[in-house]
Amino acid sequence: MKSHILSAIILTFCCLLFLAVLYPLAMFGIGKAVAPNGGQGEVMEANGRVVGYARVGQNFSDDRYFWSRPSAVSYNAAGSAGSNKGPSNPDYLATVQARLDTFLVHNPGVRANQVPSELVTASGSGLDPHLSPQGALVQVARIAKLRNLNARDLELLVTQKTEQPLLGLFGTARVNVLELNLALDNLK
Amino acid sequence: MNTELLGVLAIFLLTLAVAWPMGRYIARVYSGERTWTDPIFGPIERLFFRVSGIDPNRGMTWVEHLKALLTINFVWFLMSMFVLMNMAWLPLNPDGNPSMSPDLAFNTSISFVVNCNLQHYSGESGLSYLGQIWLMFLQFVSAATGMAAAAVLFNALKTRQRPFRGVGVGTRQFLRLFPEIQHPHFVALVILVTIILMLNGSPMTFEGKDTIVGLQGDTVQVSRGPVAAFVAIKHIGTNGGGFFGANSAHSLENPNYLTALVQLFAQLLIPAAMVFAFGFYLRRRKLAIMIFAVMTIGFLMLVIPNIVSEMKGNPAISAMGVDQSLGAIEGKEIRFGAAMSGYWSILTTVISTGSVNAMHDSTMPLSGMNELLAMMVNAFYGGCGVGILNFFIYLIIAVFIAGLMVGRTPEFLGKKVEAREVKIAMITALLSPLLIMGGTALSAWMIVQDPSLPWLNNPGFHGFSEMLYEMTSANANNGSGFEGLGDNNPFWNISTGIILILGRFIPIIGPVAIAGLLASKKYIPEGAGTLKTDTSTFGVMIFCVIAIITALSYFPALALGPIAEYFSMQ
């Protein structure tokens, strides 16, 4: 037994050297060389300052911007979480109804069946950076009016910023909200 | 065909196609044959053995194997308690996160040692980077423990020598699975996945939180860390512990659809390959294919309804008139979509990963039931190494029952299956319902006594499901959760901690003991009177055994939780 313990401890330290020191350091080095922003996370800039992480969603609730999805953690990227509300929870369903009502008030002329469900539900991480194309298009009329822009131009912008499924075959089409709003600010 | 479904189908088929050659490779490593990677890894291995004073050529009995395995696990547990309870002052803590309380450290240490990765903390605020790296280390070695135990099973089933003096496996084969550097495809795969993740935007940094002012003017903090290295082994070792609280739903752990496909591939590869390795190793490919077919049919029966119901969406939200063409998107990310999230929810629960790309608490009632069933059976593919061990238990029971039905002596691979083996198999099989039902009953009783306990995030049937899920996940060493449950308190930390230990080691000890006992029996060549175990008839038999044991054990609890919720929503 004693020899087992001693062997186990020494073996553990050997493994630690390889798996907990060399492996992460090597990956850190490779990341510095090849990953976007040296492995510190891809950022987006506007007017010479960092305005956000490309992959991390942020809160947009201003009517002049495309809204992002509701978030259970208010887009706090230092404490990601979903709502974890069950599908039959009455309080939760009331919240969804309230979100829908709010959305319809801010977007006059839009009917409930034009609102895709992601605009009234929270994402898994609370940091979803995307909307579906429909989720962006349904907001175009509101933004066009507030910014005095042509709705056609905005629709075109959404289409331009839509990321198609992988190789056109696999997955979902989506729009990165931060990227879209940055482009929106640059639109003349 | 819908692009969401196409993505799921493609990655499933691709994984199976690669699992076959991977299985052949694992079988070669287990039988100590030379592989092309020996010149690279051989010297490192010899160095390891010399330093730790291990004689790689000494034979060990299955009892000695288990002793060695439990000892090293205990050493890891103690070291883990030390690291997690002292993170605050140890280095690599740029965010100044606190040390864990003793009960949380107990739960977390056990959880990662046993390859479960139930997490009662959130990575952003609950761990320093040193803690993360320590847990990453455990994710490597705990997967290896399961693989090593499976290796003992394989060896014991193969041996035909009598009188029996050990299972005929050197310490070498046993321990070479501990440092995965001995398992080169494994390491190459981990490194490859890490690099893919980094290229797609997963961070790999030791910088702390970043503070930025967003476009709209809100100030937000963004947690970072050595994420990519952690996420790779989390999937390849079927561990599933997330770097961040939201696990693989977090966009820094799982930046896009491609990385999601890679993570799905990585978690299924070794469990599927282990079944083929079993066949190659014992030179019984037909048996392995039969086992694989049973597992696949079980998997499909769970996954197809989940994909369908998640894509259909929540009827209560449809009633509001909202467009649900995206499916039930609460708790899901747009970049993955409902179809992949439905597929992931079952893949991660049939094998013991427990990583999530969508919140299971918010899935539809019957999807939740299938996630529970996947963990209750815990042998459709199953975790790294342990999946095949769990399946072996069902197989022994099926051999016994089939033998009784046709009036022949139950035999498996030329060895008689007698009372002692069947008793061990039954005890192992019935332990799960005991732990899950017992634990759930206790927690349900406590919440009825004191409804003010801050546990449940949802009322009614769903609240019961949250407790049932937590106990099931602990017993299956899965680690996913209905995360609404407020589980960072002494009751949940300690109760699930105990269930984790029992749910890990008994299902390892049971099958290894049976195999050890079988190994010491006389080999009887197959004859006309032998019950054939590699036929589809016997496959149906095993499937029925699994279905009956599961239904009898769990139907009442499922009726109180997800099934009741389903009907209440109609």
Q: Please list every residue in chain B whose beta carbon sits closer than 8 Å to the beta carbon of residue A82.
A: 246, 249, 330-331, 358-359, 361-362, 483
A32 assigned to some structural domain: yes
What angle in degrees, to the nearest 10, is found between the helix axes of B386-406 and B285-312?
110
A25/A92 same-domain check: no
Number of continuous H segments (helices) and E segments (strands) in chain B: 20, 6
A141/A161 same-domain check: yes
Q: What are the CA-CA distances from residue A42 to residues A128, B105, B259 (Å)?
A: 15, 33, 16
Shortest distance between the Cα of B547 and any Cα of chain A, in A, equals 27
Residue of A3, A51, A77 with shortest CB distance to B221: A77
Q: Does B206 touch chain A (CB under 8 A)?
A: yes
As to burial, measured by CB atoms within 10 angstroms (0-12 exposed, 13-18 middle, 19+ buried), residue B569 is middle
Query: Look-up: residue for tokens 């060695």?
Result: B68
**How large is the average pLDDT for residues A114-129?**
93
Q: Does B332 touch chain A (CB under 8 A)?
A: yes
**How large is the average pLDDT for residues B233-243?**
87
Q: Of B452 and A1, which is predicted with more confidence?
A: B452
Shortest distance between the Cα of A137 and any Cα of chain B, in A, equals 13
Q: Please list every residue in chain B whose beta carbon sits closer than 8 Å to the beta carbon of residue A93.
A: 316-317
DSSP string across B47-87: HHHHHHT--TT-EE-HHHHHHHHHHHHHHHHHHHHHHHHST
Q: Does B191 touch chain A (CB under 8 A)?
A: yes
What angle in degrees, to the nearest 10, is found between the helix axes of B285-312 and B257-282?
160
- Distance in angstroms (rounded) separating the CA atoms of residues B389 and B11: 26
Q: Please list every residue in chain B whose beta carbon sits closer than 8 Å to the beta carbon of residue A17.
A: none
Q: Kindly report the three-state secondary structure assignment for every residue of B352-404.
A: CCCCCCCCHHHCCHHHHHHHHHHHHHCCCCCCCCHHHHHHHHHHHHHHHHHHH
**How large is the average pLDDT for residues B187-197?**
89
- pLDDT band per the 50, 70, 90 thresholds, residue B184: low
Chain B interface, best mutation among A43, A119, A121, by max B CB count within 10 A:
A121
**pLDDT score, position A12:** 84
Residue of B141, B224, B330 with shortest CB distance to A122: B330
Q: Do B251 and A125 touch (CB under 8 A)?
A: yes
**pLDDT score, position B146:** 81
Kindly give, in sequence order, each residue whose CB lies less than 8 Å from that of residue B233, ignoring residues fewer than 6 positions away. B136, B139, B140, B143, B190, B239
A28/A113 same-domain check: no
- Distance in angstroms (rounded) separating the CA atoms of residues B118 and B242: 10
- pLDDT band per the 50, 70, 90 thresholds, residue B466: very high
**pLDDT score, position B241:** 87
pLDDT beyond 50 at B182: no
Neighbours of A179 (CB within 10 A): 16
- pLDDT band per the 50, 70, 90 thresholds, residue B35: low
**How large is the average pLDDT for residues B317-344?**
92
Shortest distance between the Cα of A136 and any Cα of chain B, in A, equals 12
**How large is the average pLDDT for residues B72-87?**
92
A31/A61 same-domain check: no
**pLDDT score, position B165:** 42
Q: Please list every residue in chain B whose beta carbon sits closer than 8 Å to the beta carbon of residue A70.
A: none
Query: At residue B221, what are phi and psi to the nearest 5 degrees?
Result: -105, 140
Query: At residue B496, what are phi and psi to the nearest 5 degrees?
Result: -70, -30
- Distance in angstroms (rounded) separating the CA atoms of residues B184 and B186: 5
A47 assigned to some structural domain: no
Residue of A46, A77, A130 with shortest CB distance to B215: A46
Q: Does A172 touch chain B (CB under 8 A)?
A: yes
pLDDT beyond 80 at B314: yes
Q: Does B454 touch chain A (CB under 8 A)?
A: no
Shortest distance between the Cα of A133 and any Cα of chain B, in A, equals 10
- Distance in angstroms (rounded) separating the CA atoms of residues B496 and B494: 6
Q: Does B195 touch chain A (CB under 8 A)?
A: yes
Residue of B nearest to A19 (CA): B137
Lowest mean pLDDT of A146-150, B145-149, B265-269, B508-512, name the range: B145-149
CA dihedral B145, B151, B152, B158 (to 10 degrees): 170
Q: Does B141 touch chain A (CB under 8 A)?
A: yes
Interface of A with B in 63-92 (CB under 8 A): 65, 69, 75-90, 92
Shortest distance between the Cα of B560 and any Cα of chain A, in A, equals 15
A69/A30 same-domain check: no
Q: Are A120 and A95 in contact (CB under 8 A)?
A: no
Q: Are B433 and B445 in contact (CB under 8 A)?
A: no
Q: Of B77 and B49, which is predicted with more confidence?
A: B77
DSSP B244: S
pLDDT beyond 70 at B152: yes
pLDDT beyond 80 at B552: yes
pLDDT beyond 90 at B557: yes
Length of chain A: 188
Interface of B with A in 251-290 (CB under 8 A): 251-252, 255, 257-258, 261
**pLDDT score, position A66:** 94
A88/A37 same-domain check: no
In chain A, what is the greatest distance between 2 CA atoms, to the nearest angstrom?
80
Interface of B with A in 476-495 (CB under 8 A): 482-484
3 state DSSP class of B457? coil
Rg (CA), chain A: 23
**How large is the average pLDDT for residues B198-218?**
90
A98 assigned to some structural domain: yes
Full residue range of the structural domain in which residue A26 is found:
1-41
Q: Do B141 and A3 touch (CB under 8 A)?
A: no
Q: Do A69 and B334 touch (CB under 8 A)?
A: yes
A83/A155 same-domain check: yes
Q: What average pLDDT does the structure give for chain A?
A: 90
A46 assigned to some structural domain: no
A73/A152 same-domain check: yes
**Secondary element (H or E) of residue A131:** strand A130-131
Q: What average pLDDT does the structure give for chain B?
A: 87
Q: Please list every residue in chain B whose beta carbon sits closer than 8 Å to the beta carbon of residue A55.
A: 201, 251-252, 255
Interface of A with B in 91-130 (CB under 8 A): 92-93, 96-97, 100, 111-118, 120-130
A165, A132, A127, A123: which is closest to A41 by C-alpha? A127
Residue of A nearest to B314 (CA): A87
**How large is the average pLDDT for residues B239-249?**
90
As to burial, measured by CB atoms within 10 angstroms (0-12 exposed, 13-18 middle, 19+ buried), residue B554 is buried
Chain A interface, best mutation among B171, B198, B470, by max A CB count within 10 A:
B198
A80/A138 same-domain check: yes
pLDDT beyond 80 at B166: no
- Distance in angstroms (rounded) separating the CA atoms of residues B545 and B522: 27
For chain B, the 3-state helix, strand and coil shares in percent, each to the nearest 5, are 65, 5, 30
Domain ranges of chain B: 18-283
Q: Does A133 touch chain B (CB under 8 A)?
A: no
**pLDDT score, position B171:** 42
- Inter-chain Cβ pairs, chain A and chain B, closer than 8 A: 378
**pLDDT score, position B10:** 92
> How many domains, in total, are found in chain A?
2
Cα B281 to its chain centre, rounded Å, is: 23
Strands B415-416, B169-170: parallel, antiparallel or unpaired by DSSP? unpaired
Q: Tens of pLDDT along B501-530?
A: 999 889 888 998 898 888 888 888 877 778
Any long-range contacts for B445-452 (C-beta under 8 Å, 24+ apart)? B446/B491
Q: Do A172 and B54 touch (CB under 8 A)?
A: no
- pLDDT band per the 50, 70, 90 thresholds, residue B309: very high
- Distance in angstroms (rounded) separating the CA atoms of residues B404 and B131: 53
Q: Please list every residue in chain B whose beta carbon sits closer than 8 Å to the beta carbon of residue A131.
A: 334
Chain B interface, best mutation among A28, A119, A123, by max B CB count within 10 A:
A123
Cα B208 to its chain centre, rounded Å, is: 31
A56/A115 same-domain check: yes
Q: Does B569 touch chain A (CB under 8 A)?
A: yes
Strands A43-46, A49-53: parallel, antiparallel or unpaired by DSSP? antiparallel
Q: Do B331 and A78 touch (CB under 8 A)?
A: no
A7/A76 same-domain check: no
Q: Of A88 and B47, which is predicted with more confidence?
A: A88
Q: Please list every residue in chain A whose beta carbon sits closer than 8 Å to the beta carbon of residue B264.
A: none
- Distance in angstroms (rounded) separating the CA atoms of residues B554 and B546: 12
Chain A interface, best mutation among B323, B457, B464, B569, by max A CB count within 10 A:
B323
A124/A74 same-domain check: yes
Q: Do B332 and A123 touch (CB under 8 A)?
A: yes
Q: Tens of pLDDT along A19-78?
A: 899 989 999 999 989 888 888 888 888 888 888 999 999 999 999 999 999 999 999 988
Buried b (16+ CB within 10 A) or exposed e, B266-296: bbbbbbbbbbbbbbbbbebeebbbbbbebbb
**How large is the average pLDDT for residues B82-111?**
92
Residue of B141, B209, B462 with shortest CB distance to A86: B462
Query: Look-up: residue for tokens 């046709």?
Result: B406
- Distance in angstroms (rounded) separating the CA atoms of residues A101 and A96: 9
- Distance in angstroms (rounded) separating the CA atoms of residues A124 and B244: 12
- Distance in angstroms (rounded) separating the CA atoms of residues B506 and B243: 29
- Distance in angstroms (rounded) separating the CA atoms of residues B518 and B155: 11
Q: Do A97 and B181 touch (CB under 8 A)?
A: no
Q: Are B59 and B166 in contact (CB under 8 A)?
A: yes
- Distance in angstroms (rounded) separating the CA atoms of residues B357 and B96: 28
**What is the CA angle B242-B487-B118, rounded to 5?**
35
- Predicted TM-score (pTM) of this structure: 0.92
